[in-house]
Homo-oligomer: A and B are copies of this chain.
Amino acid sequence: MVSIKDVAKHAGVAISTVSKVLNNYPNVSSDTRDKVNRAIEELGFVPNAVAAALSSKQAGRVAILIDLNTRTQAIDEISMQLISGAINQAVLMNLDIITVFFSMIRDKSVEELIRYFKSQNISGIIISGMNRESKQLLELIASKEFKIVVIDAPVYNESTSSVWIDNEKAQYDVAKKTTENIDCKKILYIAGRTDDYISGERRRGVERLAREFKLKLTVKQGEFNEKKAREITLQYGKYNDLIVCASDLMAIGAMKALIEMDIFRPICGFDGLALMGYVGKQMNTVKQDFYRISSEAVRELNYLMNGGCGRNIKLDYRLVRMKYEDIIC
């Protein structure tokens, strides 16, 4: 392996000079710079990022945590969007990013998590999908040992930021919009996982709607689970005028149930998955731009790691009607 030492010798300069050229330091004459660059070229030298990371005490790496265990189509789509957004932004900002998958760290204690991050020189973390599995992550966030950006949960201290959309308002909006064209007295709400932060928010949104318009609201726990949503709909669907689901996946479950029972009820979902383009029915939903969300998260993490103070970044969403033609590319 050809090292900086070889380059220095070949160019007839000191190691430190090569390093300065490599890192675009000012105090190098263009003569020397050329000489060094020529040597680099001739020797095919590639700087070793591992050594550089060890040597420089600078910030360290950024990690994005992705849940690998929840195996559903919907999660695949969201995860990949999050990953894409984060990586592209990181490349743009020249950050060393690493994708860490939950299965690698699941069931580990906070200490072990911290261990892992420390051992990997990770000092900035992006966390999405805070839920019951993430209790440890919450502890991690509280510890202030790292700079952290949380997606969709406005919990923060000075070393933590969050990137989120207003789930309460979004749920309200999409449900309201769907009621507008129909005669709606009774709403069935299929809620998300009880201990998910966003579940509470969304539920409050539909509750506010019911209150404001004096609608009868039935709330059932769907756990973000398609099958469960189907069962709930089979049981309660026909007694309601509208079925509001806290996720697209559950909306699909509800739709299947309606088809089975051969009745029609309007449904609305939440997330704006491309998957919705494949289910054959149109549906109102809240389209979240996960790609954008995680790009923003990376940008915010960079801000934190450069000494910025924690804050909440609110992003917008769009109400859309999903159908085949909207999605296919």
Contact = CB atoms under 8 A, between A and B. Distances in A.
Interface of A: 1, 46-51, 53-54, 68, 71-73, 75-77, 79-80, 83-84, 87-88, 91, 98-99, 101, 103-104, 114-115, 118-121, 226-227, 230, 252-253, 256, 274-275, 278-280, 324, 328-329
4 A-B pairs with least C-beta separation: A76-B80, A49-B119, A46-B118, A76-B76
A84 B256 CA distance: 29
B87 A101 contact: yes
Contacts of A115: 46
Contacts of A84: 68, 71, 101, 103
A328 B231 CA distance: 13
Given A104-B91, A324-B256, A278 B72 contact: no
B68 A120 contact: no
Contact of A83 (B1, B53, B88, B101): B101
B329 A49 contact: no
Given A71-B84, A227-B328, 11 more contacts: A50-B121, A68-B83, A68-B87, A71-B329, A73-B73, A73-B77, A76-B76, A84-B103, A87-B104, A91-B103, A278-B279
Contact of A54 (B50, B80, B226): B50
Contacts of A324: 256
Q: Which of A46, A114, A324 has the most CB of B within 10 A?
A: A46
A117 to B, nearest CB: 9
11 contacts: A46-B115, A48-B121, A50-B53, A68-B87, A71-B84, A72-B274, A83-B101, A227-B328, A278-B278, A278-B279, A279-B279
Contacts of A49: 119-121
Contacts of A252: 278
B119 A47 contact: yes
A264 B319 CA distance: 35
